[in-house]
């Protein structure tokens, strides 16, 4: 179970998972990710699919948001449109913290 707080501009400024605030590094990456034009907030469960192996994993909305960001970042990176790896790393490690099995199946 996750909850988040938004500021007056609609940006997420705080996330709690099972009643505990997420780590500062994860929140730093999430805040920076929100600034990217390809960031999509997904507020429902979804299936994440590894484009290489075809493995599918059920994700909650927060996990799906993070995975969607990572996929979009990687696609842009392959086309030479993205070069800042720190936000990508922060987001993928945030997914690993939330759901290690999904991280292993979808990203690693």
| pLDDT tens, position by position, 4-63 | 999 999 899 999 999 999 999 899 999 999 999 999 999 999 999 999 999 999 999 999
Rg (the chain; Cα; Å): 13
Contact 106, 50 (CB under 8 A): yes
Compute the C-alpha angle 77/83/88, nearest 5°. 75
Instruction: Name the residue ranges covered by the structural domains of the chain.
Output: 2-106
CA distance 103 to 108: 6
pLDDT at residue number 96: 96
Please indicate whether residue 78 or residue 108 has the higher confidence score (pLDDT): 78
| pLDDT tens, position by position, 54-103 | 999 999 999 999 999 999 999 999 999 987 899 999 999 999 999 999 99
CA distance 85 to 26: 14
pLDDT at residue number 82: 81
Which contacts qualify for 96-100: CB closer than 8 Å, 24 or more apart? 97/22, 97/23, 97/26, 98/17, 98/62, 98/63, 98/66, 99/57, 99/59, 99/63
């Amino acid at each position: 179970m996750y909850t988040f707080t938004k500021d007056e501009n609609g940006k997420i400024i705080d996330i709690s998972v099972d009643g505990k605030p997420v780590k500062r590094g994860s929140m730093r990456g999430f805040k920076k990710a929100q600034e990217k034009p390809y960031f999509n907030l997904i507020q429902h469960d979804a299936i994440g699919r590894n484009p290489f192996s075809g493995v599918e994993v059920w994700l909650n909305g927060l996990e799906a948001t993070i995975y969607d960001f990572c996929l979009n970042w990687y696609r842009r990176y392959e086309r030479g449109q993205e070069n800042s790896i720190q936000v990508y790393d922060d987001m993928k490690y945030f997914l690993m913290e939330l759901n290690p099995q999904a991280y292993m199946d979808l990203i690693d």
